[in-house]
Amino acid sequence: MLKRIYVIDDDEISLYLSKITVELFDATIDCRCFDDAHKALESLDKDIEKGGQPDIILLDLNMPVMSGFEFLAAIKPMESKLYNKCHIYVLTSSVDEHDRMRVMESGLVVELLQKPLEPGKLEEISKLLPKCQ
Amino acid sequence: MDINKQLELYQFEKLNQALFNNHPDAIYILDLEGNFTMVNEVVCQITGLEREQIIGKSFEPLVRAEDLAATIERFLMAIKDMPQRYETAIITKEGVKYIDITNFPLKVDNEIVAIFGIAKDITEKKQKEHELEKYANLLKAQNAELEVFRKIIAHDMRSPVAKAIGLARLLEENKIPDEKVDGVKYYLRKTVESIDTMVRDLNEVISLKYKGMEFKTDVVINDLLNRFVALFSNEIKKLNASVTIKAAPDVSVSTIGAYLESIIRNLISNALKYHARHRPIEIVIEAAATYDGVEISVKDNGIGMDLTKVSGDIFKMHKRFAPDLAEGNGLGLYIVQQQVKLLNGNITVESKPDQGTTFKVFLPR
């Protein structure tokens, strides 16, 4: 069961799309949108402290200021705390094979998904998650 | 000497003479100081000099300055009993000629008494080599650009396409709450329009490469600026922007009108796009004559940028610095720079974050 999802993407339309897709899948999910990966990091820190880390992070790659790759590097120190609790799905429009390989180097990334996010995928993801904690 | 032996010697001498005189390449002998002691006819043909001008003189004045040191080095090695094969260049009345030289020592009783030289004129071959190199470099540059196009297609173009697909699917499935439908339709239209802009820009960039020399005409800058501001009048009104033109009516430049128009159009569009949200937009366009040309500047009070972070990238393709605003695809400034280059001008930028940006374009007279 998915309780909290972070969506990190610099593009407002992409954020809107992801948010609506999540709402249509399950309106009870707390879906938080961040247009800046820095803000997402701050929020993540606070949520981890309260024991309320997101179950899923949908992460875009191509962002100015802080890219998806930089975000993955920044959360490496938290990997042990988040392992098996927070699953990252890189959601990108990129069809570049190099990106896929780089991204899988992070221990928290489950899969690289291509935009647009499909509701069927959300269903699949929620089934893969361990039972509600 | 036996008569047969004498005959043999005679044939051999004749053979040598024939070789020396009829060989298509230059054949010569140098003494140990590097002076010509014997030359065949071809030496005179290649150098354009008479036999009397060559015999007894050193080879050094013939050699092109930048090749002299290396050529002397080769000669010295030949004297030390090391045959040499190398390329060098000589200056003749017909200009520079490239030659392929073989030097080897002539020994009598195991003592080196002179140096043989065989020189082949490879000027034509060298010119073909230069052209090949030129084309190879051109190909490398074009491949580099192709790689950029590939990245644009893989990243920049796919992005709005993915968004459009997502939005269209949502509308098709009819599951969007009523109050949000208009929002989705609006986003879909904006997204598809941005794809259109990207396709057009890409096309413009590619066709820039194939434009031949267009005609130059005298362009009165003031008229051109006023025309373009009028073109943007709708957007200017909507954004409540004030656009001021400061250009004396007599400032003109002989240039390719279409390119200059495209440059101005892109710079004005940029200034309008990257405006600061919390203050009224002010754009000032100036044009002034300099002693060797014309300088046009477009200054805005928009969001600006941190040049220490972006300076080299700003004119490169597909770099966006404020992607949450408008549908930027990053090709505009690349096009501007290419066009300025085609007009033999240059473009500079000054900017500070949140204080605005000034682009200055210089065009020679």
Find the range with the poorest average confidence among A48-52, B88-92, B103-107, B303-307: B303-307
Any chain A CB within 8 A of the CB of B321?
Answer: yes
User: Of how many residues is chain A composed?
Assistant: 133
For the full predicted model, state whether its pTM sits above 0.80: no
The pLDDT value recorded for residue A41 is 94
Q: Is the ipTM of this complex over 0.95?
A: no
**B322 falls in which pLDDT band (50, 70, 90)?**
very low
The pLDDT value recorded for residue B81 is 93
Give the residue from chain B lying closest to A12, CA to CA. Answer: B324
Taking alpha carbons only, the member of A116, A85, A104 closest to residue B160 is: A116
Which tens digits make up the pLDDT trace of B97-128? 999 999 999 999 999 999 999 999 999 999 99
- 3-state percent breakdown (helix, strand, coil) of chain A, nearest 5: 45, 20, 35
Does the pLDDT value for residue B328 go beyond 70? no
At which residue do the structure tokens 């060989």 appear? Answer: B23
Does the pLDDT value for residue B325 go beyond 70? no
Contacts with B201 (C-beta within 8 Å, 6 or more apart), sequence order: B329, B331, B332, B335
B45/B50 Cα distance (integer angstroms): 9
**B148 falls in which pLDDT band (50, 70, 90)?**
low
Greatest CA separation for chain A: 37
Give the Å distances, CA to CA, from A116 to A20, A97, B181, B250. 12, 18, 18, 55
**Cβ atoms of B56 and B40 closer than 8 Å:** no
Give the Å distances, CA to CA, from A47 to A66, A72, A122, B78. 20, 17, 22, 82
DSSP B217: E
Of A12, A35, A93, the CB nearest to B162: A93
Enter the tokens of residue B358.
Answer: 């000034």
Cα A14 to the chain's mean position, in Å?
13
Enter the tokens of residue B282.
Answer: 């002010």
Q: Which residues in chain A touch residue B161, judged by CB atoms under 8 angstroms apart?
A: 93
The pLDDT value recorded for residue B35 is 96
Any chain B CB within 8 A of the CB of A107?
Answer: no
Mutate which: B152, B156, B158, B310, vs A, most A CBs within 10 A: B158
Comparing B85 with A131, the larger pLDDT belongs to: B85
CA distance to partner chain A, nearest, from residue B183 (Å): 10
Most confident of A66-70, A126-130, B169-173, B296-300: B296-300
Most confident of B120-134, B146-160, B322-336: B120-134
Enter the tokens of residue A126.
Answer: 């929620």
Does the pLDDT value for residue B95 go beyond 80? yes
Any chain A CB within 8 A of the CB of B277?
Answer: no
Find the range with the poorest average confidence among A81-85, B95-99, B257-261: B257-261
Region B147-159 average pLDDT: 73
The DSSP string of B282-306 is EEEEEEEEETTEEEEEEEE-S----
Give the Å distances, CA to CA, from B12 to B6, B20, B58, B109, B203. 10, 12, 30, 20, 73
Region B134-149 average pLDDT: 80
**Residue contact A93–B167, C-beta within 8 A:** no
Which tens digits make up the pLDDT trace of B224-235? 898 888 878 887
**Residue contact A14–B163, C-beta within 8 A:** yes
Of B155, B165, B322, the CB nearest to A116: B165
The pLDDT value recorded for residue B244 is 93
Enter the tokens of residue B114.
Answer: 């002179």
A117/A102 Cα distance (integer angstroms): 21
Taking alpha carbons only, the member of B266, B231, B248, B355 closest to residue B302 is: B355
The pLDDT value recorded for residue B329 is 47
**Residue contact A116–B321, C-beta within 8 A:** no
CA distance to partner chain B, nearest, from residue A119 (Å): 10
Region B162-170 average pLDDT: 91
Any chain A CB within 8 A of the CB of B309?
Answer: no
State whether the Cα torsion B319-B338-B357-B193 is positive or negative. Answer: negative
Which tens digits make up the pLDDT trace of B28-47? 999 999 999 999 999 999 99
Taking alpha carbons only, the member of B263, B79, B55 closest to residue B271 is: B263
3-state secondary structure of B342: helix
**B261 falls in which pLDDT band (50, 70, 90)?**
confident
The pLDDT value recorded for residue B219 is 87
